[in-house]
A and B are shown apart, each in its own frame.
Chain A
Amino acid sequence: MPTTYRTSDTVDFIVVGSGSAGGIMARELAQAGHSVVVMEQGPRLDAHEFEHDELKYRQLSGITNNPATSPQTFRRNENEVAVQRASNSLTYARVVGGSSTHFNANFWRLHEIDFHERSVWGAIEGADLVDWPITYAELEPYYCKVEWEVGVSGLAGASPFASFHSRPYPMPHLPIKSSGVLLEKGARALGLHPFPSPMAINSTVYRGRPACVQCGLCGGFACEVKAKNSSVWTVIPEAEATGNCEVRSESYVFRIGVNDAGRATGVHYFDKDRVEHFQNARAVVVCANGSETPRLLLNSATPAHPDGLANSSGAVGRYLMFNKGGGAAARFEHPLNEYKGANVTMMLHDWYNADPARGFYGGGGFTARSGGPLTWGQSVPEGTPTWGQGFKEYLESYTYWMNLAGHGTSLARETNRIDLDPELKDAWGIPAMRVTYTDHPDDLKHAQFMIDRAVEIMDAAGAVQIDPGHVDLATGGVHLLGTCRMGDDPTRSVIDKYHRTHDVRNLFLCDGSSLPTSTRGQPTHTIEALAFRAAHHINEFAARNEI
């Protein structure tokens, strides 16, 4: 019988969001003996309810925030009037498991350099590059915890550029598919160092869940066999098994309650019938993703907190970052059949570090990456007919193509932000988010650098046709980072290094919004490690009655 709590019960913790961080937070708090209610906007679906429906999941917001009900506006800068676009700028999954349900599961650790780039680079004009308040060494044990308790396959130490691993991955890497073989061939020919990609996908039976069946549809899809290590299949069931945790799906938290003493008292939310409730709690942990977390704080403004909750710094919603990158598609002589097998099997970190010799800031990694046929078929390389016999022949070439995707840095800028649209409301009548974003010039230069490198690698691999990417100004993303940044200085950051908000003692935040820098793509491993670390400290605070 699932544990349930009444709204009148004062539970120890409410965790807002059930994704990568929320699931871990719930498990760690519940296993420590605390009563926990997890609030999730979206429905709870079992594995058999997901399907290989590319139209639904990749084109029509099947499990992601839907622009029809959760609209957003976008503008380039504060001088423009933000407008509602055809698609939302910021995308995340709206289902129990959050974006860990539909991610590609490509799990990179950060490198030591990520935590102190400001000290190395100094100030960058037009950006606010900062050091993290923690180091790689402090996070390393929690990376291991993710790898062993959630499940990651890979070959630790295979990359000459990786920072130290104190443990191996618990599972060997997934089988290398043709795109991985070709990346390795091209990169090694150029003297580079590709390595098997770490993935949060089981390569063997692990913790009671099966190995990957190589269905080929990871990114954008939920795993139908529970081999992809999404929180809905991993830590959430373990949280519930404690008897201390209720996952309350289709429960949309729109405001955090605060009393006169400045303490969080619980959350206001709508149930699936759009009936409003208030759940009492001793503390609140928001893990709602890098867009919804700042929006919730801003929508929780009160006369005592007119600029939003925990926003004395003014940093809530600011420093929005994605992962800017660039790459190339390439066609080969023989079929690769990229629709089979996990989406990523081989990667490259030779250009991870930013290098002053390039003349701009920026670094990143490459992955050999596949995509579904429906998404692929809608665009053509430059020079290919968009209809007629030539287009038909292009469609027939689908199995001969691969992508070499570059994932890179985005510099934090104070002006890139999420705030509340002054007019637009969502389907529940709650102010919608307004996104203001313009890439830093270095991000654009680095994106072109990645495109050029991708072309070189694919050429060295023997591609018969290469379709380079284009550098466009970003209008949104799926890695939603930096909007409630972590830092020691309460005037310039929202949370401290333990994820406690500087302003509200019993309010914690942990998700992509916590990251002070953008990383180089694939931030989920780090978000999960941060969640384990934050939960460890929150449990210690609770034990010492310091919440």
Chain B
Amino acid sequence: MEAPTSSRRQFLSAIGNLASATWVTMHWPQIALAAEHAGHGDAAGAPTGISTLTAAEATEIDAIAAQIVPGGITREATVINFIDNALGSFWSGQLPAFREGLAGFNAAHAAQGGTGPFSAATPEQQVAFLHTVDTTPFFMAVRRLTVLGLIALPKYGGNKDYLGWGLLGVENRHFWTAPFGYYDVDYPGFMPYPGTNPITA
């Protein structure tokens, strides 16, 4: 039986596994299509092509993501489009709790003396504030979605031009031949142990 839990607790548990979303296989074409139709964020301005989050919500999430993996790559890779797509499709069940978490994030930011939204704070101020909230379920959710948005296939809205894979050092190819890495370049082959008698066809 399903335990009676608050939406917040469900949200917390859902962070651990996205498979808890009310997603089913048959929805995949629509998810991919939605991502395809989403626009791409403008690295210099507010995110564009957002269809689930409001512009103001997307701006804040985008700013948080940009500190989770700093250096501008989250914006170049349009991570916010992945997050928007996720919250509109396979993670839609978590959208109300996600919004609740964002409201709490904004309220905490204001309570700590923020004179404007988190996104308008200086990078140093943003980092300092995030250190005070980085164990909250909301932050962990944004963190997880940021990582997914960097590495999941571009068809879901993020990892634009495979920039996220580039960050990890992953080349966008799907067939390889040995050697694969530094340590197998000069591998001399397997040497049998004394007393064994390997047999080959």
Binding site for B on A (CB under 8 A): 43, 51-56, 59-63, 66-69, 73, 81-88, 155-160, 165, 167-173, 175-178, 180-182, 184-185, 193, 195-196, 213-216, 224, 332, 334-341, 373-374, 377-378, 386-389, 391-392, 395-396, 398-399, 421-424
Contacts and interface: CB of A to CB of B under 8 A. Distances in A.
Contacts of A389: 70-71
21 contacts: A51-B153, A62-B25, A86-B14, A86-B16, A165-B199, A167-B199, A176-B190, A177-B181, A195-B190, A214-B180, A215-B176, A336-B183, A338-B180, A341-B178, A341-B180, A374-B152, A377-B147, A388-B70, A389-B71, A391-B69, A396-B167
A56 B153 CA distance: 10
B67 A387 contact: yes
A421 B198 CA distance: 50
Contacts of A196: 190
Contacts of A193: 193
Contacts of A43: 25
Contact of B184 (A83, A168, A181): A181
A339 B169 CA distance: 10
Contacts of A175: 178, 180, 184
A330 to B, nearest CB: 12
Interface string B70-85: 1101000000000000
A167 B178 CA distance: 28
Contacts of B195: 160
A140 to B, nearest CB: 14
Interface of chain B: mostly helix, strand, loop or mixed? loop
B70 A170 contact: no
Contacts of B22: 68
Given A84-B3, A157-B198, A374-B152, A216 B190 contact: no
Nearest to B180: A340
A156 B150 contact: no
A215 B181 contact: no
Given A176-B184, A178-B183, A171 B201 contact: yes
B53 interface: no
Contacts of A391: 68-69
Contacts of A62: 25, 28
A215 B193 CA distance: 31
B129 to A, nearest CB: 12
5 closest residue pairs by CB, A with B? A334-B182, A178-B181, A178-B183, A175-B178, A213-B175
Interface of B: 1-3, 13-14, 16-25, 28, 67-71, 73, 90, 127, 130, 134, 143-144, 147-148, 150-153, 156, 165, 167-170, 174-184, 187, 190, 192-193, 195-201
A180 B20 CA distance: 35
B133 to A, nearest CB: 11
B21 A387 contact: no
Contacts of A69: 24
A59 B176 contact: no
A67 B67 contact: no
A177 B14 contact: no
B126 to A, nearest CB: 10
B169 A160 contact: no
A97 to B, nearest CB: 15
Given A60-B90, A389-B71, A421-B1, 4 more contacts: A43-B25, A84-B1, A86-B17, A180-B184
B18 A60 contact: yes
A200 B128 CA distance: 51
B144 to A, nearest CB: 6
A395 B190 contact: no
B144 A339 contact: no
A213 B1 CA distance: 45
Contacts of B90: 60
B168 A395 contact: yes
Nearest to A56: B28
Contacts of A374: 147-148, 151-152
A322 B177 CA distance: 34
Contacts of B3: 81, 83-84
